Amino acid sequence: MQSIPVDTARLGVLRCANVPEVKFSNPETQEVKKDKDGNPVYTVAVTVRPDGRRISVIEIAVSGEPKGIEPGQIVKVVGLTAFVWTMGDRNGVSFRADSITPAPASAAHTKGGDA
């Protein structure tokens, strides 16, 4: 699967849409998905608004529990990559990041509430 780097600066204001949720490799057994180092993988829904267009929500997987993230909060996403996938007759794009943290106060003030 090829990874495609994503320029987060072109996505506009990135805002947390919900609290980070643990990702399950098997929802039936509640088995938590782990990365190659054994850390649990979390999913964070983030709103994006590229070039002032319509707001979209993307779900981003990240290793380890993101700390200090709350719904509505502007976040900083580091190392965002996209992966195109196909399973049978289904296909889509998944996102993964190195980290998701609260945006520094200065970034939150300069970007205001335009999302």
Residue 28 CA, chain-centre distance (Å), reads: 24
* pLDDT at res. 107: 55
Instruction: Report pLDDT for 104.
Output: 87
Beta strands in 1-115 (DSSP E): 3-5, 15-16, 21-22, 24-26, 31-32, 41-48, 56-63, 75-78, 81-87, 90-97, 99-102
Q: What is the pLDDT of residue 106?
A: 63
Tally of CA atoms within 13 A in the half-sphere of 8 that contains its CB: 22
- What pLDDT, on a 0 to 100 scale, did the predictor assign at position 1? 64
* Spatial distance between the Cα atoms of 21 and 71, rounded to a whole number of angstroms: 12
Domain that holds residue 71: 3-111
Total domains in the chain come to 1
107 sits in which H/E element: helix 105-111
Q: Which residues of the chain have pLDDT under 70?
A: 1, 106-115
pLDDT tens profile 68-95: 999 999 999 999 999 999 989 999 999 9
- CATH classification of the domain holding 91: 2.40.50.140
